[in-house]
Structure 1
């Protein structure tokens, strides 16, 4: 825009009752008479004389003192007079231009105005550059908070004027009052200069100085926060450990940048250029646009160009959470129309991050389904796939609020991809479950289907059921101990706990039914010595076989382990004790008794109590692509 056009845009004359009575409408409506002209000439002469005196005094081109000294630093009262006289001169020029555009007085006034503007440019630059520390964005952004805190303490004053528990706040506030005073004075001076220059048609020069100095501060702040522009190719080649550290730096930087750097600059810019919203928006945008773009482009670049894998989703969620949590501040700080691109960039990053999270969850599901390991877990214990997957899901549960937004409109895969018997997610049109609940239930369902397939690799059906009981019990336990319990609900937990008990009962039935069946239904019924001997012999043999076979089994969960033992003891030890107590003397002599009766009821109970501790978990293997250490955010 041409210089003249910019001046017209920024020109906004101010009127002050104390200094412009001679320009009031009632005065200008007087007839163009000779007395009025003489009166006006006198006023013009006086205005030019007074304004010229103070302006020339501070002309840096004609006075060494004026060249090396700051007007606002040397004498604030005289600085205020300077501003007042410049404003008077501007109004006088406006009046002269309407009366006689070729007037010599107008030419003189224009020369004085140029000198005054040069002086104010110098002052504006000096205040900005010499007070960088006092106009630091963090200090500026904290001023209103401290002021609000101090103001609130007045509510606690008692009748004698004493302050109670808020004394510490006041003392802390007093300790920085000197710094605040300097900051406040600098902001007041900058605003008075800016308004004077803008109303005089020199807004362009004022804005140029402001943008140069304040943009350097913002750019330096972004650099110090460790944020830099990275190309797509650079990101794609970056090792995950390096990229993860960059993400950590960004997470810390974005909080500081929004709350202090951008917020402080917005407060300062709003104050200095309070007279024009158009100028405020334009200036603020020029100052922060580059730094804000670098900051808010980073998440989008990571989402677009970094390698996708399930374990990296947590850093993606951290970035999404940070932007989402600060969105009200982003909308407020970047509310100008000229900063709409910044808001759009932040929103674009949110969209790309959400897409990346969705992709990671799809890949996680795929990793479960593609797990093709046929190696058996020793002792029918917990599979590595189960521990890794549930650890991953429990960590995801900590992000349930964010995931609820991300997964709100993500459709589930078609149910035909799983057996009908596994459709255990209750949902109806009357009581629809949230998308996030359905997604977690679905992922666990996929895991259960895969575990069901792995259980079939055991040649012994009892081990298959014990494997399913152990793994499902672990899944239920992880759900109950994490945020997933709120997502899946009590009905889900109750239903799957019931399944655990069913699997455990099936294990007992298959593994121990022959031992239990070796004892008569009525253990007290009269039997011949030969029948008693045969019964004891059969029990000894079957119990030996079952015990040796089940001794290697493991039930890691102590509660489930005890439940299975109690159930077995109830079915086996009680019946055997009755049979033993009634029939052991039927056999006859003590020597024959020792040969035929291998176990006492106490022996049976003790042997059962030693079960399900297993020897080792070695032998379990999984081709699942994630380990616990990989899934845990660092």
Structure 2
């Protein structure tokens, strides 16, 4: 019933009899006590009243004087007609006061049995007035003029949220009590419409507050030296736990979510949360440079384009695993506090979608066309999947963690298998180099440079990862895996070099080295000059050895035994080179045939000097154009040549030069002194062909 704020008139006063006179003095406003008076005071009061009532003419006679003191409207305010008791001013019926009536009404319903309520419940008139006030409130909030900048709830949000709560309870209780009573159907329908309208407003506010998230930079941490004050730092650290929302906004989001869920609008609230947060997450990923790419799109992309997509993917994956997931977990738990299962469901569904999207990209890259230049990007992705999953374990449920680990393991295995195949494909790249043109001047072959730089970088930067990949994924077989070479033995092959046992990865390195050796050996046969083929093998062998010795990781993978054997191979080529070139030159200084009947045969001696001069000039002219790029090897060759040639020539010259006639004959046959020979030897292997005749003055 609506409150009656007007006091009731005394019925005896309206009759105008003596009883009425007494009631004028004795009656009080409802809720007040009658004043206690003595008998004398009562008699005096009765006489005064009696005079006033029995002599109205005297009152009329003084009316002009009274009107000068009191205006007619003042009389009306105090009681209307003359003689009526005055009423207090009427109190304004507001949403706050109406809310109190609704609260009592709901309390009575809740404390009574449903049968008793349904049998005797009457709908109070103040409910309609309350609904009018709520609709008026909603209309004001929906008005663009009253929208608060920054998507904050209005200052009187407490009263509005209370009204929303009461509307929901009204609808629930009345629809239950009068579910079979068609007379109250219009009222219940009206309450339902108002509830829908209020919830729609809250949903819009909820969505707007969520959309106001500030962009948070990944891995942005506040440095101790940058903080302006301890209090401010604490506040900043507290707010940084959430992805872009202040504590005030979080409190408002929580209030709205609680009202929507308790009012039966859980699905609408969750849908708004999922859609809005999903859009914000996708925007964050785009800011990190990662765009969603389908598997078909990945397969059609050129490697140059796809390669540019991998670093943003790595950045996005690390951000999600180390920053986004933990922040999203706290955000859901804060907004949907009191509903842990709902919070967990929203978080899991939202983040799982993002996680699977990132894993799909990794798998799409893994099944793309293989090539050796892709190896290092694949290894970067493998390490990203391997090193960043543990950070997510604490924020996901046990069941979800198990699923995500399985999905990640699948993607990582695909990439691991591809890495092995790419690394093994290096053998195919080496074997496919079937060029028949020898490298000029016996220099290091481009295939050797490419292979060794490739392996050195792989070992220096990824040796540990490659060891793990070959160990964990070499034996993995799947029905859809057709990329592994049929003759690949994985870690079942045990490479033994004396006492050393090598890992599967080290074994694969040796396979590549052995293959490269065989290819280089075949290419050395392209040189017609055996000495040049030896220079070619020494150049390439020294390059390989220096690359391995120059990298601690590569040397550890290959082992000292392998390095010693490689050095032995180089010495063999060195000996072959000296035998094919300089030992033939020393044949010109052979003593055999020089003595005839105990005398030196001058014609033979002249021919020996002549042959030596011609052969040395030819060797110098030819081999000065050859290239030995390794300075140490170059020096070793020159020293060893000098050690063979100069002593022998000096001895021969000292022994037989006197048999030639001094003057023109000597100049004709003795063109080089030992010092000249040494100088010319030092000009070998520079790649600059010179002639000995040009140097003579």
So what's the TM-score if we normalise by structure 2?
0.64
How many Å apart are 1:446 and its aligned residue?
A: 1.1
Gaps (5+ residues) in structure 1? 1-35, 42-48, 154-164, 418-422, 617-634
CA–CA distance in structure 2, aligned partners of residues 456 and 564 of structure 1: 21
Tell me what 1:187 maps to.
Answer: 250
Which one is further off, 315-324 or 218-227? 218-227
Tell me what 1:228 maps to.
Answer: 292
Tell me what 2:613 maps to.
Answer: 540
CA–CA distance in structure 1, aligned partners of residues 639 and 591 of structure 2: 20
Any conservation in 2 of the 1:251–1:322 contact (CA below 8 Å)? yes
Tell me what 1:346 maps to.
Answer: 408
Cα-to-partner distance string for 1:93-117 (whole Å, 9 max, x where unaligned):
99x99xx999x9xx99999999789
Any conservation in 2 of the 1:330–1:343 contact (CA below 8 Å)? no
Cα-to-partner distance string for 1:235-254 (whole Å, 9 max, x where unaligned):
43333333333334434443
Decide which of 124, 138, 142 is 2:216's aligned counterpart: 138
CA–CA distance in structure 1, aligned partners of residues 565 and 658 of structure 2: 49
What SS does structure 1 have at the residue aligned with 2:216? helix
Any conservation in 2 of the 1:70–1:123 contact (CA below 8 Å)? no
1:207 maps onto 2:274 in alignment: no
CA–CA distance in structure 2, aligned partners of residues 373 and 504 of structure 1: 25
How many Å apart are 1:501 and its aligned residue?
A: 2.9
Tell me what 1:129 maps to.
Answer: 208
Change beyond 3 A, Cα 1:86–1:424: closer
Tell me what 2:630 maps to.
Answer: 557
How many Å apart are 1:521 and its aligned residue?
A: 8.8
CA–CA distance in structure 1, aligned partners of residues 196 and 302 of structure 2: 55
Tell me what 1:507 maps to.
Answer: 577
Any conservation in 1 of the 2:628–2:686 contact (CA below 8 Å)? yes
How many Å apart are 1:448 and its aligned residue?
A: 0.9
CA–CA distance in structure 2, aligned partners of residues 63 and 200 of structure 1: 16
Tell me what 1:313 maps to.
Answer: 375
Gaps (5+ residues) in structure 2? 1-110, 117-123, 476-483, 690-697
Change beyond 3 A, Cα 1:138–1:120: farther
Any conservation in 2 of the 1:469–1:504 contact (CA below 8 Å)? yes
* Matching of residues 40-51 of structure 1 within 5 Å: none
Change beyond 3 A, Cα 1:126–1:84: closer
Change beyond 3 A, Cα 1:376–1:574: same
CA–CA distance in structure 2, aligned partners of residues 311 and 182 of structure 1: 44
Any conservation in 2 of the 1:125–1:210 contact (CA below 8 Å)? no
1:468 maps onto 2:537 in alignment: yes
Tell me what 2:94 maps to.
Answer: none
1:371 maps onto 2:371 in alignment: no
Change beyond 3 A, Cα 1:614–1:267: same
Which one is further off, 334-343 or 81-90? 81-90
Any conservation in 2 of the 1:222–1:291 contact (CA below 8 Å)? no
Change beyond 3 A, Cα 1:61–1:345: farther
Tell me what 1:273 maps to.
Answer: 336
CA–CA distance in structure 2, aligned partners of residues 66 and 79 of structure 1: 10
Any conservation in 2 of the 1:321–1:402 contact (CA below 8 Å)? yes
1:395 maps onto 2:457 in alignment: yes
What SS does structure 1 have at the residue aligned with 2:444? coil
CA–CA distance in structure 2, aligned partners of residues 414 and 573 of structure 1: 57
Give the RMSD, CA atoms, in angstroms.
4.9
Larger radius of gyration: 2
CA–CA distance in structure 1, aligned partners of residues 325 and 494 of structure 2: 50
Tell me what 1:239 maps to.
Answer: 302
Which one is further off, 79-88 or 198-207? 79-88
Aligned residues: 537
Tell me what 1:356 maps to.
Answer: 418
Any conservation in 2 of the 1:297–1:345 contact (CA below 8 Å)? no
How many Å apart are 1:575 and its aligned residue?
A: 3.1
Cα-to-partner distance string for 1:563-618 (whole Å, 9 max, x where unaligned):
100111112123323443454344341322212212111111111111112259xx
CA–CA distance in structure 2, aligned partners of residues 533 and 111 of structure 1: 131
* Matching of residues 482-493 of structure 1 within 5 Å: 482=551, 483-493=553-563
Any conservation in 2 of the 1:553–1:614 contact (CA below 8 Å)? yes
